[in-house]
Structure 1
Amino acid sequence: MAAPPADASVMQSIALMRARGLGVVFYPFLLMRQLASNGLPDPWSDAADQPVLPWRGRITTVKAPGQPGSTDGAAEAEAEVAAFFGTVAPGDFAIVDGAVVYSGPAETSYRRFILHYAWLCHAAGGVDAFCIGSEMRGLTQIRGPGNSFPAVAALRVLAADVRVILGSACKLTYAADWSEYFGYVDADGNRWFHLDPLWADENIDFIGIDNYMPLSDWRDGDAHADAGAGSIHDLDYLRANVAGGEGYDWYYPTEADRAAQNRVPITDGAHDEPWVWRYKDILNWWSNPHHARVDGVRAAQPTEWAPRSKPVWFTELGCAAVDKGTNQPNKFLDPKSSESSLPYFSTGARDDLIQMQYLRAMHSYWADPEANPVSEVYGGPMVDMTRAHVWAWDARPFPWFPNDLSRWSDGENWTQGHWITGRTLHQPLALVVAEVCRRAGIAAYDVSGLQGLVRGYAVPSTSSPRAVLQPLMLGHGFDAVERGGTLVFRMRDGRAGGTVEAGALVARDGGALELTRAPQAEVAGRVRLGYIAAEGDYEARAAEAIFPDEATTTVTQSELPMVLTVPQAQGIAERWLAEARVARDTARFGLPPSSPYRVGDVVALGAARYRLDRVALGAAAQVEGVRVESGVYQRRDRAGLRPELRPFAVPVPVLPVFLDLPLLRGTEVAHAPHLAVTGSPWPGVVAVYDSALDDGFALNTLINARAIIGATQTPLARARPGLWDRGPALRVRVAGGDLAAVREAEVLGGANAMAIGDGHVWEVFQFADAVLIAPGVYDLSLRLRGQAGTDGVMPDVWPVGSQVVLLDDAVQQLTLPLSARGLARTWRVGPAQRGFDDPSYVVQTQAFDGVGLRPYAPVHLRVAEVAGDLTVTWVRRTRVDGDSWAGYEVPLAEGREAYLLRVIADDAVVRSTEVGAPGWTYSVAMQAADGVAGSFTIAVAQLSDAFGPGPFRNVSVEAGA
């Protein structure tokens, strides 16, 4: 007889782990499958439906205790519990041909569920430990007649039956919820140690606790009660709350009290046993006899529990990787479940560090023998941390889980969830910096102020210790300062450690106080950060940040040899940018020699705060500082962003198309070219290297998206700019994506821009209609031609075979110094996972004119004749900010207004002159001197000191007409 597929999988997994010498703790999990509109009355309210996918701790009587009509405390409640457990016996199962066969009563009961799994474990060769249940808090608190607890009695019977099946070598327990293990306070305030008969039972070997007790009570800002700790990530703060804080020292009677932080101390009046009411006081609960409290009276006789008689196992513990996760470690995000919620006061941002610090705090606290004494009864520690089970270290392979959402739909929950899958190799920043210091031979250092985690970091073996630390300091935002002969590392937080009053300033050269603001042009307005993307294919990526009001072309680019998540990298770039803008403000002032402030300190000076970067001691301390703001350093990890896993593809050459384009959005670097890349198969990330020669290549940029590139299959004739081109459709064949039609208003707003050209000269046009003719083939019609001033370079016809590139976000601008404009450079473009010398790289030599600097051709060129003199007039255009209708005249984008004017006769230039205004008179005398007669042409182009003449606009003239 073959085992059912699910049974076979369970037995195979157990056998495999045993064969590898691994300990196996079997934890049957009762999943509540109520779905929407289930029609099951809610026992906890008057709702007609029970909540979707609720917690098993909600299981209770038909009407929960405290609800009208509840059977709690009556014989009917005892009968409901008996019906839930059922009557299945161990002998109702047998093992036949390796399969577990059932022949007992036709009931779907809890006993059948647990005993079935116990027999599966037996058939697989046994397990080290087995849980007879978990977190059924509502069930165990149901009372029968005489304040009995029938579910607890039923669990004792079940434990004895499982012992018969699994034998004495298997350790048995019940995995109690952290709010359940220590007892039960009923609605009247009575304290019951209702689980003590189970904990004392001879078949229960240890106290199982699913430990999700809070380790913090943190709020945003600096005004809350715990703000003195500095940070929720502070290890000492979290460790102090393992047996302290909420649930130990104090509690919140109501949610209103929680909101206001009205903390009520936990006391016990005359009996002086406050631990009776403390769910966090495992030590006293374990060490003392338990006396129930009924109607305010301490029971004379203790419960069955024998102090220090059995160890505690954390059958579960953990914390979600979410902002303020330690405020409520039991909370999780799962849109499918009605139990889904954020911890108290959480923003919902991802926070892997709080998960790491929670686990470090728990481990280090319970490693202390004073907090975790050894029992003289069984000779082991109170809490056996070698049997602590972190929820959840998933068996599914990382990074396919969580990234393969087509296979595992719960992958979306991983980002802010409890999983340590994919996170176990992260290292605390403090330990990484400490290792660098040790290897450098630094004897006195202090890393206790560092908070952060390192996902991966490449350290060149030849780098100096300072060079090794520098990327970590930049990425995580911390400083190194000397204090008393010790190298102290501490996070930048912008918080002032003191205030410098105006009266305390000492006169110095230039006055007691000098405040300076650097010019905007000297401050980087755009930051680009190269890094290695975490949790996917670990490809090289780039993050970029720019101020919305940024008008300069200054770009700061850095490469961090660090593994970062996408939002983490983006946050670092944004922090750098914000720091740079705030640090425009500097202060120089004098302080008395006795001043306690040192380099690295942050002081409040007036309404601003300054970080001291230089302190020169003399008759007075000469201090220089830069302005800081604490908001710059707030964590900004976003949730829901993760890289996609791509199947392996053999690296093949990609198709790069370099484009020297005009300004389209106005935020581009005017002289720098753009690059579009496509390929099949797409390598995921394309790296672009460049060099002025044929060696010394450096990474220029990374391209993450495949561009839509193609060629024309029909010619495209010239058309007037500024009007809808309703001529024949332009047929194109493209690769790299799909084209789509848009509304005319969207085209006017900038949509569907496409470049057409010969590889050197490019016209920009837009299209509204795109009709799919064949795979990859489209007819494009209803066009706007010659956009962004390219009407000046539009030929009479673009021939068949002209290149086309859709100008979307996949087309990226390259970094090119202004001094390199017009100079040939060698470019290597290929898969980022390969070196630039790999055969898969495409090599091209390109030079770029910097078309973004090119003036537009003038318009409305007119010639008027008066007494033989020809007066030529025209209207200037601009390449920058020319779309607004609010101004009297469009801005002058060039350093000066100048035009180059030519007179052309018989295909020869007979006169060339420069003028400074949009008008010129060609006198009769000039005409005679030039020998013009009959037809000739006057051509006008606007001049740029940086670019030269732009495209010419021509007008034909008939001499003497």
Structure 2
Amino acid sequence: MGQIILSQAGQALGNALLPGGLSVLGADVSGAALGGALGGLAGRTIDGAFAGDVHGPRISSLHLMESREGAGLPLIYGRARVGGQVIWAARFKEKRRERSAGKGGPKINDYSYSVSFAVAIAQGTVSRLGRVWANGEVLALSDLNYRFYRGDESQLPDPLIEVIEGTGSAPAYRGTSYIVFEDLPLDRFGNRLPQLSFEVFRALEDEGSLRRVVEGVNIIPATGEFAYATDIVRERSFPGVETPLNMDNSTGAANFVQSLTQAQDDFRQLQRAALTVAWFGDDLRAGTCRIRPGVETRERISVPFGWEVAGLSRAEARLVSQSDGKANFGGTPADRSVLEAIALMKSDGLEVTLSPFLLMDIPPGNGLLDLYGSEEQGAFPWRGRIKTSSDGTAAARTEIDAFMGEDGGFGYRHFILHHARLAVAASGVDAFLLGSEMVALTRLRDDAGAFPFVEALVALAGEVREIVGPGTAISYAADWTEYGAHVPEGGSGDVLFPLDALWASPDVDFVGIDWYPPLGDWRGDANHLDVLAGFRGSSDAAYLAANLQGGEAYDWCYASPEARAAQDRSPILDSAYGEPWVFRQKDIENWWKNAHYPRPGGTRSSTPTSWTPGLKPIRLMEIGFPAVDRGTNAPNVFYDPKSSESALPHFSDGTRNDALQRRALEVSLSYWRSQPFVEATFAWAWDARPWPDFPVREEVWSDGPNWSLGHWLNGRSGLVPLSAVIEDLSSLTGVEMVSDGLEGLVEGLVIPTPSTLRSVLEPLQALHRFSCHEDEAGLSLQPVPDRSVREVAAGDIAGDGTSMTHVLLDKRPGHLTLTYISSDNAYGSAMARARRTDGDEGYRIEASLPLLMSEAEANRVANDLLKAAVESERASVKLPPHFLSLQPGDRISVATLSGAWMIDDITDDGIARILELSRPIEVISVIAGSVPEAGKAAVLPASPELILIDAPALPGFSSAGPLTAAAASPWTGPVSVKAGRGLADLSIRANVSAPAVMGRLLAPLSAGPTHRWDGASQVSVELFGGEIASASPERVLAGANRLMVQGNGGWEALSFARADLQEAGRWHLSVLLRGLYGTQPAPALRGATVVLVDDSLEQSVLTRDEIDVDLSWRTGSADPQVFRHEDKAGLPWQVAQLRVKRKAVGTQVSWLACGPDIPDGWDLPDPTTPRLFEVSGLFEGTEMVNCRTAESAVTVEVLVDEVRVAEVAADGRLGRWVSIGAGAL
């Protein structure tokens, strides 16, 4: 390992930031030379012989897939985008498809190609595969046949490779993550192998890491009408126009399917999940609160299934409140979507807990009486605030009875029992909750001192048991302040255990607790009590562990907000009975293993409650921490500006801190899963909406901004602690490195192989501000302390005293450009720039950090580094030998030097210790990840809408079959239209290559005139899939702007000269020609279908014996439809100018023939096709005469009062009758 060189002092910073040096006014300055000016990060040189530029990992904007013999694979930490190496490929496959050119054209042979191949992506075991790009565009993997191998040491050879190469000849590629594509279609890539690149996530799996300690999660958001559906549900705004409601990601899978896959990839020990399903309460007053399922909108048609909950349709459910025209919540998940989610989790081997979840939909301006003293009830409050105004009276029981209600009503009982029945419909669940955190209600007493809501929960548990049977564990999830002893306000001295009756119920199987007690009391100043106790910070693992069963709510409490501000801590004692655990909300172990003796009036009862020591196991149903500064001070609070409950933890500055959230969960879950009385833990929370689409797609989900400081684990579980990266590098290189105290997170780091350890550590050191020095244990990497650890008095300074120098450059730099890997821009390289007004703009620094960062993070780092360069100072001090405890990286203060200094290097000359010092570089370690752009969601094919038109003989179309239109939005390619007498006999009748422009009438269309321009009438339409425009009368007469309208009596063909756009997709059409091509201008209703006649329409092919026969028609996997084609194009047009004239003998009838072969001008020759007409004479409805003639006139010699004429087709069918009264002149 002689080439592994770590340099400290000033040169380390220069080389880390400037691996290629920089250019100052045309002169090259190496990074090492500049290091003295910037100041050292810490440590001392291990190998002082190195003196040159450091060439670390390079930043690449191109992520190219290659196939090179002997090429190395990258080592990844966090997330990254890499190209990979093709390691295996089969021969290309060719497929031939024959199609017709249409409209009587020749047959055409189309050839398509596919190939199977494997690409090695990275070395080692990765967590999961993210997005895949093909030629720069995100590939929808759900459309492809692929298999991804994580690279673990137990993976087996791919079955396809083994089949082709032979059993025993296919490598398993253990230790290499790779992907196999089977028969990848190449037509979309120009029939060549595309350039692929891969987003890969790698989180380390050390014992105690988040990846290993999360065994259960709560699945939220509890709302979203189809958020939990595994089938993709689409909103149909018009037949063929569909928008997915639960697919907003690039894979093409349902959101929940994708999110659950991410959870299982991120948490390898995941065993169980609690599915939260929300209904909505509308009042904090228990007696008047109604609990109902809610919908986001009443105007929605969805396929393949609609919204329904507890037998209620969309029209019958509660409409959730709205602000600025948008729903304040997602709707209640449809029952079917809940069943689908449970089925998926069970099929994946997860234990499922069904958790009915009550949300309070009480918007601002509600005007409701507030029992807490405000002018109205707070906006969107916590369910734990539901209460009555009659505590301690008989009325309290009455109000609780009203709140519970009857099964089938709008009360709590129906809310819970419906979900119990839903659990049975899902073929059972492992556990079921009776709700959670109803704190104010469980403490409510009636006039006899009983707890009516607790009694109602006990009875409800019995009802649920009857429904779900003995195989489902039942409980209630109590708040961490609710599960145990209750000391009422008012000075009564009572100590009560309200929930013990529930915990002891034979129908309750475990004690459920939502566990959010404080895990710290950290402040911003350097002299608060916990700093003085020796802890390093709020995320210090030892500090967090000490607060699990200690600290606030265990050893002490704050009597008031003023006491908290002053850190005036009151010890938690029980001088009367020696049972302090009764008052310690954190002390669940002693609560669990002891009997509980109530203390009415402060006197301990001689009889315990029905709880017996260790009666039932405990499940921590929720345990989580917000990702915010000092989030452990108050894990139960959340930031949501729309809610009256929104708050930051005590003393938080509101900045995001993913590292603290992660460390707190690791410490907490590691502890609780080792306790014998804790049966299970559930981390809060994992969202059913996949990352990064949530939280990025704010146009879809308005709560996206809350993710930043919230409890969500999505997008954070894949971050890698800096200390874990160092430990892994130590293991890989064999270099002993100690990094216990390092904070910070690595979001993305790609190490190309081969690389030196130095080239990896230096960028990390520059970004995360840690010192590095050698000691007896190897390399010690420690965070730079925030405060001085030793003060050096003037009398302690030996020899020549101290010396100090300023920055070495003649002028201070005024500009710094930082190149980094952008997490906001598909992993491309990006630049951040920093400027100083007190520097010289002509002197510039160019720095490069090959790490993944957001734009905001990179700008902050650039400003920090420029500040360090401009304000750099160095000093030297000589101290006597008894300062042996000082080492590189320590901070000291020297009496003869102002401010704090950091030790870069120490030289011992046998008489004194010479300390080389620099001003500490105030660079904030990265403690939060970023959120990349979500990119485009996968295109989900809509079910094509198939319109079959028994149309007249239109110019350019044959009469072989119905005019065929297909439309879908989005349109994903040609559509084959099949028909047959039965579903087993379907055959292709047309290939529609382009979507038709179709729509509907927005207003009824009345009958209109024919054979002339209609300038008075107007057609109001909504069109989908295209645009239209006005046209001149000459172009209209030549065939432009033709429209088919489905009227009451069939399809009418009309044309329009003027098209006026009213709003998006809506038009007014005027200057009309009605009843074209022999159709009738009959009335049409509002909503009737319209189809624009253009080249997108095809003519389906039918045989003669299929005319006037019911056939089944189908496109793709859509539901079939039955259609009978009567071939109206083959029927003659109706005659015109029918006239009757009385004669001495009989009645003379005359008419004019019409048809496409009749010339428009007098100068054109008459048609040569012979014609035949049928004439019928009726008297009082009875036919008196019937004859056929080839002439356009006939004399009826019997008495009639009505005459009808129709032309006879060549096949003998009659055209449309035209009638006239025999008395008409």
For residue 209 of structure 1, the aligned residue among 500, 509, 513 is 513
Contact 1:536 1:645 in 2 (8 A): no
Contact 1:492 1:633 in 2 (8 A): no
The 5 A counterparts of 1:352-367 are 352-367=658-673
User: Structure 2: how far apart are the matches of 1:177 and 1:505?
Assistant: 59
User: Structure 2: how far apart are the matches of 1:397 and 1:489?
Assistant: 36
For residue 731 of structure 2, the aligned residue among 433, 438, 443 is 438
What does the per-residue CA deviation read over 1:913-946, in whole Å, with 9 as the maximum and x for residues that have no partner? xxxxxxxxxxxxxxxxxxxxxxxxxxxxxxxxxx
User: Structure 2: how far apart are the matches of 1:518 and 1:426?
Assistant: 37
Q: Match for 2:633: what amino acid?
A: N
**Cα distance, 1:270 vs. partner?**
3.1
For residue 298 of structure 1, the aligned residue among 604, 609, 615 is 604
Aligned with 1:559: secondary structure?
strand
The 5 A counterparts of 1:25-424 are 25-45=353-373, 47-61=374-388, 63=389, 71-88=390-407, 104=408, 107-187=409-489, 188=491, 189-227=493-531, 228-368=534-674, 372=675, 381-384=676-679, 387-424=680-717
**Cα distance, 1:494 vs. partner?**
4.2
Contact 2:735 2:778 in 1 (8 A): no
User: Structure 1: how far apart are the matches of 2:559 and 2:855?
Assistant: 42
**Cα distance, 1:643 vs. partner?**
4.9
User: Structure 2: how far apart are the matches of 1:209 and 1:313?
Assistant: 6
The 5 A counterparts of 1:349-748 are 349-368=655-674, 372=675, 381-384=676-679, 387-443=680-736, 445-507=737-799, 511-519=800-808, 521=810, 523-534=812-823, 537-582=826-871, 584-596=872-884, 597-606=886-895, 607-629=898-920, 632-634=922-924, 643-647=932-936
**Cα distance, 1:446 vs. partner?**
2.1
**Cα distance, 1:85 vs. partner?**
0.7
User: Structure 1: how far apart are the matches of 2:495 and 2:827?
Assistant: 54
Compared CA separation, residues 264 and 490, structure 1 to 2 (3 A): same
Compared CA separation, residues 472 and 634, structure 1 to 2 (3 A): closer
Whether 2:345 is the aligned partner of 1:10: answer no
Contact 1:506 1:620 in 2 (8 A): no
Q: Match for 1:138: what amino acid?
A: A
Q: Match for 1:209: what amino acid?
A: I
What does the per-residue CA deviation read over 1:259-281, in whole Å, with 9 as the maximum and x for residues that have no partner? 00000110000311111100000
User: Structure 1: how far apart are the matches of 2:810 and 2:672?
Assistant: 56
**Cα distance, 1:301 vs. partner?**
1.1
User: Structure 1: how far apart are the matches of 2:481 and 2:724?
Assistant: 34
**Cα distance, 1:146 vs. partner?**
2.5
Compared CA separation, residues 649 and 25, structure 1 to 2 (3 A): closer
**Cα distance, 1:454 vs. partner?**
1.5
Greater CA drift, 455-464 or 417-426? 455-464
Unaligned runs of at least 5 residues, structure 2: 1-304, 310-333, 940-1225
User: Structure 1: how far apart are the matches of 2:824 and 2:433?
Assistant: 34
Higher relative contact order (CA 8 A, sep 6+): 2
The 5 A counterparts of 1:765-804 are none
Aligned with 1:27: secondary structure?
strand
**Cα distance, 1:131 vs. partner?**
0.5
Unaligned runs of at least 5 residues, structure 1: 64-70, 89-103, 373-380, 651-961
Contact 2:659 2:928 in 1 (8 A): no
Aligned with 2:725: secondary structure?
helix
What does the per-residue CA deviation read over 1:721-758, in whole Å, with 9 as the maximum and x for residues that have no partner? xxxxxxxxxxxxxxxxxxxxxxxxxxxxxxxxxxxxxx
**Cα distance, 1:649 vs. partner?**
12
Contact 1:496 1:604 in 2 (8 A): yes
User: Structure 2: how far apart are the matches of 1:59 and 1:536?
Assistant: 46
**Cα distance, 1:190 vs. partner?**
2.0
User: Structure 2: how far apart are the matches of 1:636 and 1:474?
Assistant: 11
Aligned with 1:616: secondary structure?
strand
**Cα distance, 1:360 vs. partner?**
1.0
Task: Give the TM-score normalised by the residue count of structure 2.
Answer: 0.48
Aligned with 1:52: secondary structure?
coil
Compared CA separation, residues 439 and 462, structure 1 to 2 (3 A): same
What does the per-residue CA deviation read over 1:363-384, in whole Å, with 9 as the maximum and x for residues that have no partner? 222244xxx2xxxxxxxx2112
User: Structure 2: how far apart are the matches of 1:532 and 1:516?
Assistant: 35
Contact 2:720 2:746 in 1 (8 A): yes
Q: Match for 2:568: what amino acid?
A: N
**Cα distance, 1:164 vs. partner?**
1.0
Contact 1:446 1:487 in 2 (8 A): yes
Q: Match for 1:75: what amino acid?
A: A
User: Structure 1: how far apart are the matches of 2:796 and 2:335?
Assistant: 79
Compared CA separation, residues 310 and 522, structure 1 to 2 (3 A): farther
Aligned with 2:359: secondary structure?
coil
**Cα distance, 1:225 vs. partner?**
1.2
Compared CA separation, residues 626 and 581, structure 1 to 2 (3 A): farther
Contact 1:537 1:645 in 2 (8 A): no
**Partner residue in 2 for 1:735:** none
Aligned with 2:514: secondary structure?
strand
Aligned with 1:143: secondary structure?
coil
Q: Match for 1:72: what amino acid?
A: D
**Cα distance, 1:554 vs. partner?**
2.6
Compared CA separation, residues 208 and 550, structure 1 to 2 (3 A): same
User: Structure 1: how far apart are the matches of 2:928 and 2:673?
Assistant: 34
Q: Match for 1:600: what amino acid?
A: G
**Cα distance, 1:474 vs. partner?**
1.4
Structural RMSD (CA):
2.3
Contact 1:571 1:637 in 2 (8 A): no
User: Structure 2: how far apart are the matches of 1:481 and 1:74?
Assistant: 71
Task: Report the number of matched residues.
Answer: 604
Contact 2:744 2:927 in 1 (8 A): no
Contact 1:566 1:643 in 2 (8 A): no
**Cα distance, 1:519 vs. partner?**
5.0
Q: Rg: which structure is higher?
A: 2
Contact 1:493 1:633 in 2 (8 A): no
User: Structure 2: how far apart are the matches of 1:125 and 1:2?
Assistant: 22
Contact 1:614 1:625 in 2 (8 A): yes
Aligned with 2:683: secondary structure?
coil
User: Structure 1: how far apart are the matches of 2:705 and 2:359?
Assistant: 20
**Cα distance, 1:212 vs. partner?**
1.0
Contact 2:659 2:927 in 1 (8 A): no
Compared CA separation, residues 643 and 437, structure 1 to 2 (3 A): closer
Contact 1:399 1:535 in 2 (8 A): no
**Partner residue in 2 for 1:668:** none
**Cα distance, 1:429 vs. partner?**
1.3
What does the per-residue CA deviation read over 1:471-505, in whole Å, with 9 as the maximum and x for residues that have no partner? 21111111112233442211123421101111111
Matched residues, percent identical?
A: 41
User: Structure 1: how far apart are the matches of 2:878 and 2:920?
Assistant: 22
Q: Match for 2:543: what amino acid?
A: Y
